[in-house]
Structure 1
Amino acid sequence: MKEKRVLPLIFTLCLTLTSCGQAAAGGGISAAPMVDASPDSSKGQSAGTVMSCRIVDGAEDGNLLLAELDGAGSGVYTLTVGDIPVAVDGEKASAADLTDGMTVEVDYSGTVLETYPAQLANVSSLRAQTPPGGGYTDLCGLWLKVLDDLWSTDPGLNGMEGGGTVPYVGVDLSRAPGDLSAAEKAAVAWRFAQLHGAAPLSGTFDELAKQGYIDRAELSWKDGVFFSIAENHSHDEERYSLPVLQFDAQKWRGGDGADFFSDCMCVWPENGVWSDYAVGSEAVS
């Protein structure tokens, strides 16, 4: 492995994000199966239901990706706002006032169309709340940015020998800082894979190897690339006036094909969102 040191580098969140997806609850492995969305495939619940969600992505154009926040729920949903009445912090608003990272209460009929991501039927209103200052605002957007930066590093690792990109993308956010819910992690994994025309597999390296995707004996993944983000504790003794996220990120295709972002840091900008981060060092093998 050769290692190169780079000066701290600030990446700016510049992706146009439109939708995300779901993995099995508890960090299990799941691809993104598509299910017939005809009325016969609808799953009925009690009439008149309110669901609490996070806007993971898509607020910029009103095509929302929502991650369920109720209890241990791991549901991921898409919703086009259109003419649905919107309120923000108790005041009448519009779809243009929504931002990624907001929590939102969705009033709907109680029926869920079992597409992937799922769809909430007959939505009658959205009630959004602005995230409090200093919270993990749009943390999903930050992790999507980190993953996409890794994808762009050494793009040859993303391709198949016969041409085209890998059919699978593995994403492990189980140790990423910020305490994302199961649904938020699933949404990030699905959206990232979708951006690059691949199917998402959520799970750790060991879980994916156990399922037969990664060849542990050969230390390789023939038809996929594994991405992970994990908290870095090497600077725990340092003190900062603003909240700080410290992490490492990795892209892995095999023993001789991997990229690493180490000692990464993202500082809360006080009046903004988690978006820019600095890479302490970068290594390629």
Structure 2
Amino acid sequence: MKKVRITILSLALCAFLAACGQAVSPLGDGGGASSSAGTLKGETLSTETVTVCRIVDGAETGELLLAELNGAENGIYLLSTKGLPVTVDGQSAHAEDLADGMTVEVEHSGTVLESYPAQFAQIVSLRAKTPANGDYNDLCGLWLKVLDDLWSTDPGLNGMEGGGTVPYVGVDLSGAPGDLTETEKAAVAWQFGRLHGAQALTGTFDELAEQGFIDKERLFWEDGVLFSVTAEGQSETATYSLPTLTFDAQKWRGGDGAYFFSDCVCVWPESGTWTEYSIGSEAIS
């Protein structure tokens, strides 16, 4: 009888604890996983999850900056190719065979670290494809080059009164010719800011003014510079049957502090990269 009473009491106690929600988490006290790069996002799916991205920059170093195609603006990733199985156009290859502008299929576990840019937790393979003849290859690289050229021109506009460079750079590619996605534009802006030790902000003049960065009344950005690229005339034409982009670019600090590249022309070379362009005229205000 004593044994029966003990068993009944034990069962009642277990039922009481369950009703009160006192259960031990299978994850332990932490209830999840963490990393110096960020927290885990989503659940681990299968090793066959594939994310399709563009290589925005970094192919030459093996530290890739990727922009997810057809993804949200925050679909930006950093990925190291060290030790990864790589194929190019279906053939076994090396990381050194990758090039900026290629599309890649990243096969991974489905878990993503919520840093910015994000990182894939477990990568299985990297499958790259060379853009088809005539496609806009490495258009991100072209705009990065234009932005860098503007940064180097009239560098005084980039400085702060007490020394050092501005802590913010605004990047507006909303009017740039070509077929960049919003994610690719955001990736270009982030990389440009990183290269110059500044926080990148995406947006137009009006948007950045509404957010309180630009003083619209004084026409001045005290701690930042706005860089923009806009289509000029018939922006997508052909020169000797090769695709051609025409555009204007500028950096703006204030009403009397700006620099302009006008009537710029970039012809798509048969090698397939948009990296060289000519400037029709330059002006300062």
2:46 corresponds to? 47
Distance of 2:123 and 2:42 partners within structure 1? 14
Task: Kindly provide the amino acid, as one letter, of the partner of residue 120 in structure 2.
Answer: L
8 Å contact kept, 1:56–1:65? yes
Indicate how the Cα distance of structure 1 residues 130 and 39 shifts in structure 2: closer, same or farther if over 3 A, else same.
closer
1:217 corresponds to? 217
Does residue 162 of structure 1 match 2:162?
Answer: yes
Identity rate of aligned residues, in percent? 67
8 Å contact kept, 2:224–2:253? yes
Highest Rg: 1 or 2?
Answer: 2
Task: Kindly provide the amino acid, as one letter, of the partner of residue 42 in structure 1.
Answer: L
1:122 corresponds to? 122
SS of corresponding position for 2:218: coil
Indicate how the Cα distance of structure 1 residues 235 and 185 shifts in structure 2: closer, same or farther if over 3 A, else same.
closer
Number of aligned residue pairs: give it: 250
Give 1:90 deviation, angstroms. Answer: 0.5
Does residue 274 of structure 1 match 2:274?
Answer: yes
8 Å contact kept, 1:51–1:70? no
1:68-126: per-residue Cα shift (whole Å, max 9, x none)? 00355640000001111001101111101100000000001111111111101110101
2:21 corresponds to? none
2:198 corresponds to? 198
Name structure 1 gaps, 5 residues minimum.
1-35
Q: How do residues 99-248 of structure 1 correspond to structure 2 at under 5 angstroms?
A: 99-233=99-233, 240-248=240-248
Give 1:37 deviation, angstroms. Answer: 3.8
Distance of 2:37 and 2:224 partners within structure 1? 35
1:13 corresponds to? none
8 Å contact kept, 1:74–1:182? no
1:158-185: per-residue Cα shift (whole Å, max 9, x none)? 0000001000000000110112111110
Indicate how the Cα distance of structure 1 residues 238 and 137 shifts in structure 2: closer, same or farther if over 3 A, else same.
closer
SS of corresponding position for 2:123: coil
2:18 corresponds to? none
1:8 corresponds to? none
Task: Kindly provide the amino acid, as one letter, of the partner of residue 46 in structure 2.
Answer: A
With the length of structure 2 as denominator, give the TM-score of the two structures: 0.84
Indicate how the Cα distance of structure 1 residues 236 and 90 shifts in structure 2: closer, same or farther if over 3 A, else same.
closer
Indicate how the Cα distance of structure 1 residues 217 and 240 shifts in structure 2: closer, same or farther if over 3 A, else same.
farther
Task: Kindly provide the amino acid, as one letter, of the partner of residue 175 in structure 1.
Answer: G
Task: Kindly provide the amino acid, as one letter, of the partner of residue 121 in structure 1.
Answer: A
Distance of 1:281 and 1:178 partners within structure 2? 22
8 Å contact kept, 1:37–1:115? no
Task: Kindly provide the amino acid, as one letter, of the partner of residue 206 in structure 1.
Answer: D
Please state which structure has a larger fraction of its residues in helix: 2
Name structure 2 gaps, 5 residues minimum.
1-33
2:25 corresponds to? none
1:253 corresponds to? 253
SS of corresponding position for 1:193: helix
